[in-house]
Chain A
């Protein structure tokens, strides 16, 4: 696809977004950490406003980089805001869940998000996401922070190295997917054609979704970073169907795990709502900018941000 030169408006928005993001990454953690109690009490609204603005910026970057919001939100907000990781994970789940829910209906009507493909994966993923959330809230916070750092660094590496396949070819579907009639056809606008798809390696994928659900629930991450490669590269689902169906799976898994956070007191509306609102608004702006920017450059920025946040999380986990 040809890349048109960015407009002045886009350059301004992108520069502001990049500026704020870089500022946060460069600020020393101690400056933003939770210690100065009086400052926090005096300025709760500053943190809430900052969270909204930051989530808005993350929303733009998330769409441009083709990743879910949750995977960016949790490591970065937990590293640079004064909130305890418990509340950040609760908010992260809601960010991922709300984004998936608000985008879901049109994708399902177009046949991009596929219910028959998503439901079996969501069923196993929701069970493990509940288990993951329980494990995450039971473990010492420092251990979770350390594990989060490891997971984020691994995700950043996978995102940097992994490929994508627009229309993978599946010659022979597996027995389970045949029995469940997991296949479909969708209209691909870019080539003005119907694209039919079928899947293979369904049993192995179910195991992967079990693991992804656990990680998603434990760290409050949306699991699009992992759902999409499993659908696309392992099962052979076209990329657009993979991305859209990942949202469907995410909305169900996130809803299951969110209850654990709610019953453990780790869901604070004060933090969750501005995060949701900022991320959703940012995602809408990001979607509008999508055709006007070089998304591969943005992806490199986002992977770098993730890597930095992951390393900071590792340091915090080690108590450094």
Chain B
């Protein structure tokens, strides 16, 4: 790949570390997203909730639809292999993977900030990871 002549001198190592992880994970997540969605809509795997049921209720508020259908929610599909290995759950998991990408990138980058003597940004990165992880636990919405 062609690189700009001034690329390397201007970009900090921690930023290159972030970009490296982001690149790999984003490609993987998009492939997973496509594959799992194909498995979902073409019914290559069983579904927890049928698409017809979803379509019949997608005009309702999320809370009302949830009451009626019990579709995958938060980490609910991780309760066992049977509930995980379903088309809708895998497709939902692909969305979770995308949301976790910044967490992984920041976890890789935080030590690099400390190594490069930029501890303030190391702390900011760790705080950011904590915020994202707290959001991912769902405690804020219970």
Chain A contacts for B128, CB-based, 8 A: 119, 122-123, 126, 252
The 8 Å CB contact of A265, one of B6, B12, B63, B96, is: B63
The 8 Å CB contact of A109, one of B7, B103, B125, is: B7
Known: A101-B26, A111-B7; 17 extra A-B contacts, CB below 8 A, are A34-B58, A86-B61, A104-B19, A106-B23, A115-B18, A115-B109, A184-B10, A194-B6, A255-B99, A255-B135, A256-B131, A259-B132, A262-B96, A265-B71, A270-B40, A270-B88, A272-B95
Are A134 and B140 in contact (CB-based, < 8 A)?
Answer: yes
Are A259 and B136 in contact (CB-based, < 8 A)?
Answer: yes
Are A41 and B52 in contact (CB-based, < 8 A)?
Answer: yes
Main secondary structure of the interface of A (DSSP, over half): helix
Taking the complex as formed, is A97 at the interface, i.e. its CB lies under 8 A from any CB of chain B?
Answer: yes
Interface 0/1 of A244-271, CB less than 8 Å to B: 0000000110011111111111111111
Taking the complex as formed, is A120 at the interface, i.e. its CB lies under 8 A from any CB of chain B?
Answer: yes
Main secondary structure of the interface of B (DSSP, over half): helix
Task: Determine how close the nearest CB of chain A comes to the CB of B13; give it in whole angstroms.
Answer: 11
Complex Cα–Cα for A269 and B86 (A): 13
| B interface with A by C-beta (< 8 Å) | 4-7, 10-12, 14-16, 18-20, 22-23, 26, 29-30, 33-34, 36-37, 40-41, 51-52, 54-56, 58-63, 65-66, 71, 73-74, 88, 91-92, 94-96, 98-103, 109, 118, 120-121, 124-125, 127-128, 131-132, 135-136, 138, 140-142
Chain A contacts for B55, CB-based, 8 A: 40-41, 44, 47, 270
> Number of residues in A with C-beta < 8 Å to the partner?
73
Complex Cα–Cα for A102 and B28 (A): 11
Are A110 and B58 in contact (CB-based, < 8 A)?
Answer: no
Task: Determine how close the nearest CB of chain B comes to the CB of A40; give it in whole angstroms.
Answer: 5
Are B98 and A126 in contact (CB-based, < 8 A)?
Answer: no
Complex Cα–Cα for A94 and B60 (A): 20
